[in-house]
């Protein structure tokens, strides 16, 4: 990557926005699997692998899959946050590969929240 | 005149990066144009929790929520809603048709009571992508610090914010930076910057998680610090046992270097600074400033007396500024949003003197006998009760709260009567504990406080470097006495001896590991003295933990002779025929507790 100037920083910020907020991009949904040490110890890698496998086998191309850090509630890892365009983000807890693919089918593809595995909707409060 | 309506524009990080500041200014211009400024006020709030659809705003008192706004929507919004009182439905949030019964995070106390400042990007960005960090306004504080502020202005901003060191000591960061800069200028020696990521407290994982979820925040804070202090070389001293944190930090450093945010001529401003990762070898004492610096130099990690401060003579006798991971991660936000904003969170009036209070937030790892174990961030001054019962969700299995241990092994145990105490640096110290780096271990009524003190003293005895006599011998001797009490052979006078030894260690030890080491003993003696006395005088362990002082009994009325306990008893201590009352032979029992777990009728008691 080239050395940045201050103007580049602003440009990069605007350019990266579509991958972080769905509003400006073309993707239908963004799934963030929380991969802190706690998440990985609880099986987040299996969840992530299952998710990628499902997405590939079904030929889904408009879903962003991202990794991120611990979501804070370590006792209920593995967790994932599912954001579908124009819907509040939903955090899922205590996931397994099977549950993750159920969430993909029902929430991401059909737009129905899987209430059984959902922890809550919305984002956390930042300062 | 009071305003009839408030427009609450979200100024959380997410919305700011979608342009909420520009939106707010456009709103104000438009409101002015319609001469509504005496009636309608625009307020910038913290994150409203719907970052995906930002920028968002709420019009009060109508409680109308608008999202995904652009500047071009402003004239319509102001004219229709604010002037004519007709909410604009096409700009409102449309919930999906089939509303599922899922609570919003703001209704789940674990999330609702937290305020994310240091952890603002947790769970949102990919820590391995610098683009993600930049998209959330990352490195914009650095750009500001390098182009718009002098070194003195940066230090002044940190001083006014009241930021105190998050590693445990709570020393005001601004004062430390200023002293280090002074020392370097005075001696014409290059100062050194160090980030302490040698987090060693049992049950603590704040710093690990900050680095794992947002490594660039720490790096950005350090570059700003380097600019303020005048350093060109920095280190992150991180423990060997944190492989993921180390890997992510390493990747982040490479990315920052490639982008010209580290190294020579940062952002084209002629300022140069670079950071190197140094791995600790797993010694607890290396989290102590002088021991850490000895270890950095490649010597044995032992502390030295600190009548000469490390800010003057630290790493290789150069002025060295050491701050902890969380402290560094706070810096970019203070530069971006101002000291006043930071000081508005927490307790006390810190602008005049940072020692007057505790500003900002604190990250805690909440562990032990609590329902929601995890990593939390709350404003300073929140009560222990809110943290443990609202955020932590209380004690599992309907048991009673007994104590909370704050500050790691050198912290103290606080009882139920102090649950309403605000959590800040000075209140905790006054209560005989300390903030430490932010570990918080909750204990229920099945915990023996003597055993807890014994555990922590045993940990510290192992980790004492042995350089100074009060720490080396004091800890060993305290451990012997505590072990004796747990074994049921404690004597009158033991408690006085523990107190006396604790006092000597507080006075005479070389470093903070030693001076704070008696805290677990002294605080449990202060708040749970009766429990020590029960061990010594009545040979009884009220928590039912100390093996020598407990035995198991079968309750005749409850036993239905199901034989489950007989099957699991490893020593054959329990005998009896199926469907008849079973008997327990105390001489054979090794008190392993397997029978209690196996019994479905609660017919076995631990007394």
pLDDT of B50 above 90: no
Structure tokens at B478: 């305290």
Structure tokens at A23: 């509003």
Residues 532-561 on B with a CB inside 8 Å of A are none
The pLDDT of residue A24: 61
pLDDT of B98 above 60: no
Instruction: Specify the range with the lowest mean pLDDT, choosing from A113-122, B48-57, B149-158, B397-406.
Output: B48-57
The pLDDT of residue B123: 81
Contact A123 B126 (CB under 8 A): no
The pLDDT of residue B166: 92
Contact A73 B374 (CB under 8 A): yes
Residues 101-140 on B with a CB inside 8 Å of A are 101-108, 110-112, 114-117, 119-128, 131-132, 134-137, 139-140
Position with higher pLDDT, B242 vs B1:
B242
- Spatial contact of A74 and B375, defined as CB atoms under 8 Å apart: yes
pLDDT of B52 above 70: no
Q: Are strands B57-60 and A118-121 parallel, antiparallel or unpaired?
A: unpaired
Indicate the pLDDT class of residue B359, thresholds 50, 70 and 90: very high
Residue range A38-87, pLDDT digits in tens:
999 999 999 999 999 999 999 888 888 989 988 889 999 999 999 888 77
pLDDT of B341 above 90: yes
Question: DSSP characters for A58-100?
Answer: TT--SEEEEEE---S-GGG-S-EEEEETTS--EEE-S--HHHH
Question: Closest approach of chain B CAs to the CA of A19, in angstroms?
Answer: 8
- Tell me the CA end-to-end span of chain A in Å, nearest whole number: 32
Residue range B187-242, pLDDT digits in tens:
999 999 999 999 988 888 899 999 999 999 999 999 999 999 999 999 999 999 89
Q: Is the peptide bond before B92 cis (omega within 30 degrees of 0)?
A: no
pLDDT of B367 above 80: yes
Could you identify the residue written with the tokens 């080396």?
A: B472
Residue range B239-248, pLDDT digits in tens:
998 988 999 9
The pLDDT of residue A28: 85
- Spatial contact of B212 and B248, defined as CB atoms under 8 Å apart: yes
Instruction: Specify the range with the lowest mean pLDDT, choosing from B93-97, B121-125, B546-550.
Output: B93-97
The pLDDT of residue A1: 60
The pLDDT of residue B93: 73
The pLDDT of residue B63: 75
- Spatial contact of B428 and B435, defined as CB atoms under 8 Å apart: yes
Question: DSSP characters for B72-123?
Answer: GGHHHHIIIIIIT----GGGB----SS--S--BGGGSHHHHT--BSTTTTTT
- Residue percentage of chain B with pLDDT more than 90: 65
Any CB–CB contact under 8 A between A100 and chain B? Answer: no
Tell me if ipTM is over 0.90: no
**Residue B457: closest CA among B507, B508, B513, B402:** B513
Task: Give the whole-angstrom CA distance, residue B417 versus residue B385.
Answer: 10
Q: How much is the mean pLDDT over chain B?
A: 90
CB-CB neighbors (< 8 A) of A4 in chain B: 259-261, 267
Residue range B445-457, pLDDT digits in tens:
989 999 999 999 9
CB-CB neighbors (< 8 A) of B380 in chain A: none
Residue range B396-420, pLDDT digits in tens:
988 899 999 998 888 899 999 999 9
Indicate the pLDDT class of residue A19, thresholds 50, 70 and 90: low
Task: Give the whole-angstrom CA distance, residue A13 versus residue B93.
Answer: 25
pLDDT of B2 above 90: no
CB-CB neighbors (< 8 A) of B15 in chain A: none
- Spatial contact of B11 and B21, defined as CB atoms under 8 Å apart: yes
Q: For residue A26, what are the contacts with CB-CB under 8 A and spacing of at least 6?
A: A18, A62
Contact A124 B111 (CB under 8 A): yes
- Spatial contact of B367 and B442, defined as CB atoms under 8 Å apart: yes
The pLDDT of residue B389: 94
Give me the mean pLDDT over the B2-30 stretch.
83
Q: Are strands B40-45 and B5-10 parallel, antiparallel or unpaired?
A: parallel
Position with higher pLDDT, B321 vs B46:
B321
Residue range B460-514, pLDDT digits in tens:
999 999 999 999 999 999 999 999 999 999 998 999 999 999 999 999 999 988 9
């Amino acid at each position: 990557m080239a050395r940045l100037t201050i103007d580049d920083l602003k440009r990069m910020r605007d350019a990266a926005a579509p991958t972080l907020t769905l509003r400006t991009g073309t993707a239908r949904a963004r799934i963030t699997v929380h991969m802190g040490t706690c998440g990985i110890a609880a099986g987040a890698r299996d969840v992530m692998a299952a998710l990628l496998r499902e997405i590939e086998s079904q030929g889904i191309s408009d879903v962003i899959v991202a990794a991120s850090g611990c979501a804070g509630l370590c006792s209920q890892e593995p967790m994932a946050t599912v954001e579908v365009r124009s819907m509040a983000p939903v955090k899922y807890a205590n996931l397994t590969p099977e549950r993750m693919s159920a969430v993909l089918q029902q929430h991401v593809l059909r737009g129905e929240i899987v209430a059984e595995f959902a922890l809550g909707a919305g984002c956390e409060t930042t300062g | 005149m009071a305003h009839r309506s408030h427009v609450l524009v979200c100024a959380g990080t997410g919305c700011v990066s979608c342009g909420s500041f520009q939106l707010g200014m456009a709103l104000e211009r438009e409101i002015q144009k319609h001469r509504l400024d005496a009636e309608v006020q625009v307020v910038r709030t913290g994150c409203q929790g719907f970052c995906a659809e930002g920028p968002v705003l709420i019009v009060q008192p109508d409680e109308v929520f608008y999202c995904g706004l652009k500047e071009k929507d402003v004239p319509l919004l102001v004219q229709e809603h604010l002037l004519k009182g007709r909410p604009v439905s096409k700009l409102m949030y449309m919930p999906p048709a089939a509303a599922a019964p899922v609570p919003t995070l703001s209704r789940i106390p674990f999330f609702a009571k937290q305020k994310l400042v240091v952890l603002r990007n947790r769970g949102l960005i990919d820590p391995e992508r610098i683009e993600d960090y930049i998209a959330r306004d990352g490195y914009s504080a650095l750009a500001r610090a390098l182009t718009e502020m002098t070194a003195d202005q940066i230090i002044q901003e940190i001083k006014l914010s009241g930021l105190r060191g998050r590693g445990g000591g709570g020393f005001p960061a601004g004062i430390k930076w200023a002293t280090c800069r002074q020392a370097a200028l005075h001696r014409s020696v290059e100062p050194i910057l160090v980030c302490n990521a040698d987090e060693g407290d049992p049950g603590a994982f704040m710093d690990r998680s900050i680095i794992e979820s947002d490594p660039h925040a720490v790096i950005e804070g350090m570059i700003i610090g380097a600019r303020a202090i005048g350093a060109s070389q920095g280190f992150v001293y991180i423990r060997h046992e944190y492989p993921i944190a180390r890997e992510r930090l390493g990747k982040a450093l490479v990315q920052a270097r490639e982008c010209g945010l580290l190294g020579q001529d940062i952002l084209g401003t002629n300022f140069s600074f670079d950071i190197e990762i140094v791995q600790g070898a797993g010694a607890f004492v290396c989290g102590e400033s002088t021991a850490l610096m000895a270890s950095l130099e490649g010597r044995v990690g032992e502390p030295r007396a600190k009548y000469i401060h490390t800010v003057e003579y630290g790493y290789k006798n150069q002025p060295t500024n050491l701050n902890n991971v969380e402290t560094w991660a706070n810096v970019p936000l203070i530069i971006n949003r101002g000291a006043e904003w930071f000081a508005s969170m927490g307790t006390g009036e810190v602008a005049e003197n940072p020692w007057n209070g505790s500003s900002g937030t604190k990250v805690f790892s909440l562990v032990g006998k609590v329902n929601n174990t995890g990593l939390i961030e709350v404003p300073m001054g929140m009560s222990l009760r809110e943290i443990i019962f609202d955020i932590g969700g209380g004690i599992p299995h309907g048991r009673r709260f007994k104590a909370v241990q704050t500050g790691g092994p050198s912290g103290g145990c606080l009882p139920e009567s102090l649950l309403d105490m605000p959590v800040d640096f000075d209140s905790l110290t006054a209560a005989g504990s300390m903030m430490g780096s932010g570990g918080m271990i909750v204990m229920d009524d099945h915990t023996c406080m003597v055993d807890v003190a014994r555990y922590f003293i045993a940990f510290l005895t192992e980790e004492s470097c042995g350089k100074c006599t009060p720490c080396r011998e004091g800890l060993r001797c305290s451990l012997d006495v505590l072990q004796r009490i747990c074994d049921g052979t404690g004597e009158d006078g033991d408690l006085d001896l523990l107190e006396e030894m604790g006092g000597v260690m507080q006075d005479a030890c070389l470093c903070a590991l030693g001076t704070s080491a008696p805290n677990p003993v002294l605080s449990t003696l202060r708040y749970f003295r009766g429990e020590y006395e029960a061990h010594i005088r009545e040979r009884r362990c009220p928590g039912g933990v100390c093996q020598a002082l407990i035995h198991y009994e079968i309750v005749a009325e409850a036993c239905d002779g199901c034989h489950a306990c007989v099957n699991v008893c490893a020593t054959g201590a329990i005998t009896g025929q199926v469907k008849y009352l079973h008997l327990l032979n105390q001489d054979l029992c090794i008190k392993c507790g397997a029978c209690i777990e196996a019994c479905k009728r609660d017919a076995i008691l631990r007394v």
